[in-house]
Amino acid sequence: MQLPYAEPYKIKMVESLTKSSYGQRYQWIKDAKYNLINLKSSQIFLDLLTDSGTGAMSDKQWAEMMTGDESYAGSRSYFQLKDVAKQIFGIPYFIPVHQGRAAEHVLFSTLLKAGDIVPGNMHFVTTKEHITLNNATAIDCTINSACDITNQNIFKGNIDLEKLESLFKSNDNIPLVILTITCNSIGGLPVSMQNIQETSSLCKKYHCPLYFDAARFAENAYFIKKYEKGFEKKTICEIVKEMFSHVEGFMLSGKKNGIVNMGGLIGLRSETIFKNASVNTVRYEGYITYGGLSGRDLSALAQGLLESTEYDYLESRVEQVAYLGNRLKQYHIPLLEPFGGHAIFINAGEFYHHIPQTEYRGQFLNSNIYLEGGIRGVGIDGLSNNRDPDTGKEVYPPMELVRLALPTRVYTNSHMDYIAATVANVFEKRHESKRGLKLVKDTKLLRSFMAELEPTDQNT
Ligand X SMILES: *Cc1c(COP(=O)(O)O)cnc(C)c1O
Cβ closest to ligand X, residue 119 vs residue 349:
119
Out of 43, 52, 303, 366, which residue is the one contacting ligand X (CB under 6 A)? 52
Q: Confirm if 85 and 94 have CB atoms less than 8 A apart.
A: yes
- CA nearest neighbour of 358 among 439, 424, 443: 439
Instruction: Pick out residues in 94-113 that bind ligand X (CB under 6 A).
Output: 99-101
Instruction: Pick out residues in 202-221 that bind ligand X (CB under 6 A).
Output: 213, 215
Min separation Cβ 351 and ligand X, Å: 25
Which of 93-101, 197-205, 350-358, 421-429 is the region at the interface with ligand X (rule: CB under 6 A)?
93-101
**What SS3 state is found at 42?**
helix
Which of 30-38, 54-62, 248-256, 294-302 is the region at the interface with ligand X (rule: CB under 6 A)?
248-256
Which of 251-259, 281-289, 412-420, 451-459 is the region at the interface with ligand X (rule: CB under 6 A)?
251-259
- Contacts with ligand X, 267-306, as mask; x by CB under 6 A: ----------------------------------------
Instruction: Pick out residues in 161-200 that bind ligand X (CB under 6 A).
Output: 180, 184
Out of 121, 127, 220, 281, which residue is the one contacting ligand X (CB under 6 A)? 127
Cβ closest to ligand X, residue 100 vs residue 349:
100
Cβ closest to ligand X, residue 108 vs residue 418:
108
H helices of 112-216, in order, are 125-133, 161-170, 193-205
Min separation Cβ 459 and ligand X, Å: 39
DSSP 402: E
DSSP 354-380: TS-GGG-HHHHHHHHHHHHHSEE-EEE
Does residue 142 bind ligand X (CB under 6 A)? no
What is the spatial distance between Cα 401 and Cα 365, in angstroms, rounded to a whole number? Answer: 9
DSSP 135: T
Does residue 403 bind ligand X (CB under 6 A)? no
Does residue 243 bind ligand X (CB under 6 A)? no
- CA nearest neighbour of 155 among 123, 191, 128, 193: 191
DSSP 4: P
Q: Which residues pair with 183 in a beta bridge?
A: 189
Does residue 253 bind ligand X (CB under 6 A)? yes
Min separation Cβ 391 and ligand X, Å: 30
**What SS3 state is found at 213?**
strand
Count of residues of this chain found to bind ligand X when the rule CB under 6 A is applied: 15
Out of 128, 130, 225, 256, which residue is the one contacting ligand X (CB under 6 A)? 256
Cβ closest to ligand X, residue 80 vs residue 180:
180
Min separation Cβ 228 and ligand X, Å: 20
What is the spatial distance between Cα 185 and Cα 395, in angstroms, rounded to a whole number? Answer: 16
Q: Confirm if 84 and 90 have CB atoms less than 8 A apart.
A: no
Q: Report CA Rg, the chain.
A: 22
Q: Confirm if 188 and 154 have CB atoms less than 8 A apart.
A: no
Cβ closest to ligand X, residue 341 vs residue 455:
341
- How many other CB atoms are there within 10 angstroms of residue 440's CB atom? 12
Cβ closest to ligand X, residue 255 vs residue 403:
255
Which of 123-131, 320-328, 402-410, 426-434 is the region at the interface with ligand X (rule: CB under 6 A)?
123-131
Residue 443 CB contacts under 8 Å (≥ 6 apart), including other chains: 450, 451
Q: Confirm if 35 and 379 have CB atoms less than 8 A apart.
A: no
Conformation bin of residue 60: beta by default, left when phi > 0, alpha when psi is -120 to 50: alpha
Does residue 126 bind ligand X (CB under 6 A)? yes
Out of 28, 45, 108, 124, which residue is the one contacting ligand X (CB under 6 A)? 124
Cβ closest to ligand X, residue 131 vs residue 383:
131
Cβ closest to ligand X, residue 256 vs residue 317:
256
Min separation Cβ 264 and ligand X, Å: 6
Q: Confirm if 289 and 75 have CB atoms less than 8 A apart.
A: yes
Cβ closest to ligand X, residue 8 vs residue 397:
397
- How many other CB atoms are there within 10 angstroms of residue 309's CB atom? 22
Report the Cα–Cα distance between both ends of the chain, in Å, rounded.
48
- Indicate the residue whose CB is closest to ligand X: 100
Min separation Cβ 159 and ligand X, Å: 14
Cβ closest to ligand X, residue 124 vs residue 313:
124
Which of 5-13, 226-234, 249-257, 315-323 is the region at the interface with ligand X (rule: CB under 6 A)?
249-257
Residue 147 CB contacts under 8 Å (≥ 6 apart), including other chains: 186, 398, 399
Phi then psi for 336, rounded to 5 degrees?
Answer: -85, 135
DSSP 39: S
Name the residues that contact ligand X, by CB under 6 A. 52, 99-101, 124, 126-127, 180, 184, 213, 215, 253, 255-256, 264
